[in-house]
């Protein structure tokens, strides 16, 4: 069966993912994924920080079933109740005053760029530059690739969309030098996930907010991976004690159903007037039903609090393991349930491969760091399962 699927993929699907891990899943429950041959895997990556509720969560399943039976799509030519209610949830639980829905994190970030540019355009100001950080990741579209501070993602698509520049992280000096009278916004991930879970310093984040206020620049925070409780706060900017002018989210917002959001303060959001932006599928009844179900589960099951407490347990267990394998573990970086375990370069791929053989799913960032982003309802016993597997894998290399 798996061989047939691989053959079909090789024949018909554009090869953008290379040789994938040799498994195909046909169902899931909680943290477990079941392969088509019946093998059970444990999903500590959560679909890359997407499956916040795990797999087949009853609340999400029931919400989707109910909505599919009623209505999937109408277009935004008409009012959509779920869309309005989900926007209300985002606004009431964040510093934003308005929200706009799209289909992905990349689209959300594109929307944030457009909003920042049009905000100054309508003020009659020629400010269009966007500053972002080295090692960042903001998406796969042409503009988000230009904002992504990783040359290997940018090289094939030059000339890049103009107006973007990257600077080194955690340096207020670097950002001060990069700002010009054309700078519209500074965009950052407070915790860079794709590069291996690298948090920004708190004082740096607060310094950016102060600099933006002084220079009349918008601060955009990319919360695509860190939003919806992942870090032990609903949004990472709450963890840092700052408020952005615009923030984006996606991934966990739909619990597996594609949806993204651009959230903004009232003054900035008002720059989008009828015809300035739009979407066909964004904020449709099905996707926003998923978002509402995720919000309800997060609130009623206290999943932000669970992410915080389980994140502490994860960090404690990993620090203990780091002492045992001090010759192999370089660093442990945790923010709630977004976790990076950096390993010595010569063993990282071997450890990752052994974890997969032990039916543990994670990702390997930059060939160095095991990234973990499990469901927010993970238990201490499930954390111990991961720690035991990682301990064995480290002992085997």
Look-up of token digits 């008002």: 270
Q: What is the DSSP letter of 365?
A: E
Nearest in space to 210 (alpha carbons), one of 168, 255, 242, 169: 242
The question of whether 137 is a catalytic residue gets the answer yes
Element (H, E) at 116: helix 105-121
Contact 47, 54 (CB under 8 A): no
230 vs 52: CA distance, rounded Å:
8
Look-up of token digits 């201490």: 380
What are the CB-based long-range contacts (under 8 Å, 24+) for 326-330?
Answer: 328/394, 328/397, 329/394, 330/368
Look-up of token digits 């030098």: 177
The question of whether 25 is a catalytic residue gets the answer no
Q: Which residues of 167-176 are buried (b: 16+ CB within 10 A; e: fewer)?
A: bebebeeebe
* Tokens describing residue 273: 């007037």
375 vs 28: CA distance, rounded Å:
12
* Tokens describing residue 102: 């799209």
Q: Which 3 state secondary structure label does DSSP give 176?
A: helix
The question of whether 276 is a catalytic residue gets the answer no
Q: What is the DSSP letter of 286?
A: H
Q: 137, 295, 314, 386: which one is catalytic?
A: 137
Look-up of token digits 């209610």: 85
Query: Could you tell me what percentage of the chain is helix, strand and coil, using 3-state DSSP and rounding each to the nearest 5?
Result: 45, 20, 35
Q: 89, 117, 251, 328: which one is catalytic?
A: 251
How far CA 152 is from CA of 48, 137, 174, 217, in Å, comes to 21, 12, 22, 29
Q: Which residues of 85-110 are buried (b: 16+ CB within 10 A; e: fewer)?
A: ebbebbbebbbbebbbbbbbbbbbbb
Q: 43, 101, 222, 295: which one is catalytic?
A: 222
Catalytic positions, written as ranges: 137, 222, 251
């Amino acid at each position: 069966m798996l061989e047939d699927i691989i053959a079909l993929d090789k024949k018909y699907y554009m090869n953008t993912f290379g040789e994938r891990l040799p498994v195909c899943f046909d169902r899931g429950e909680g943290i477990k994924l079941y392969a088509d041959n019946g093998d059970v895997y444990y999903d500590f990556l959560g679909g890359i920080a997407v499956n916040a509720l795990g797999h087949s969560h009853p609340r999400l399943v029931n919400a989707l079933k109910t909505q599919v039976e009623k209505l999937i799509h109408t277009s935004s030519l008409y009012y959509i109740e779920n869309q309005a209610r989900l926007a209300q949830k985002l606004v009431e639980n964040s510093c934003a005053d308005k929200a706009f829905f799209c289909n992905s994190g990349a689209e959300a970030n594109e929307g944030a760029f457009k909003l920042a540019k049009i905000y100054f355009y309508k003020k009659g100001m020629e400010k269009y530059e966007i500053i972002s950080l080295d090692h960042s990741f903001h998406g796969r579209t042409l503009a988000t690739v230009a904002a992504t501070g990783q040359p290997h993602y940018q090289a094939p698509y030059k000339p890049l969309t103009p107006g973007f520049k990257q600077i080194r992280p955690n340096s207020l000096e670097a950002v001060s030098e990069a700002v010009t009278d054309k700078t519209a916004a500074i965009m950052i991930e407070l915790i860079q996930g794709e590069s291996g879970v690298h948090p920004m310093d708190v004082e740096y984040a607060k310094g950016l907010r102060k600099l933006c206020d002084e220079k009349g620049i918008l601060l955009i925070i990319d919360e695509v991976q860190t939003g919806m409780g992942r870090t032990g706060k609903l949004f990472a900017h709450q963890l840092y004690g700052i408020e952005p002018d615009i923030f984006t989210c996606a991934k966990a917002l739909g619990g597996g159903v594609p949806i993204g959001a651009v959230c903004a303060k009232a003054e900035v959001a008002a720059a989008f007037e009828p015809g300035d932006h739009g979407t066909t599928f964004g904020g449709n009844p099905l996707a926003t039903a998923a978002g509402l179900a995720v919000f309800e589960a997060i609130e009623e099951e206290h999943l932000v609090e669970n992410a915080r407490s389980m994140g502490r347990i994860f960090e404690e267990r990993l620090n203990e393991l780091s002492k045992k394998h001090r010759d192999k573990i370089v660093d442990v970086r945790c923010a709630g349930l977004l976790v990076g375990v950096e390993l010595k370069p010569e063993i990282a791929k071997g450890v990752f491969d052994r974890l997969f053989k032990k039916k543990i799913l994670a990702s390997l960032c930059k060939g160095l760091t095991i990234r973990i982003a499990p469901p927010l309802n993970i238990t201490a016993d499930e954390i111990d399962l991961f720690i035991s597997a990682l301990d064995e894998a480290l002992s085997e290399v």
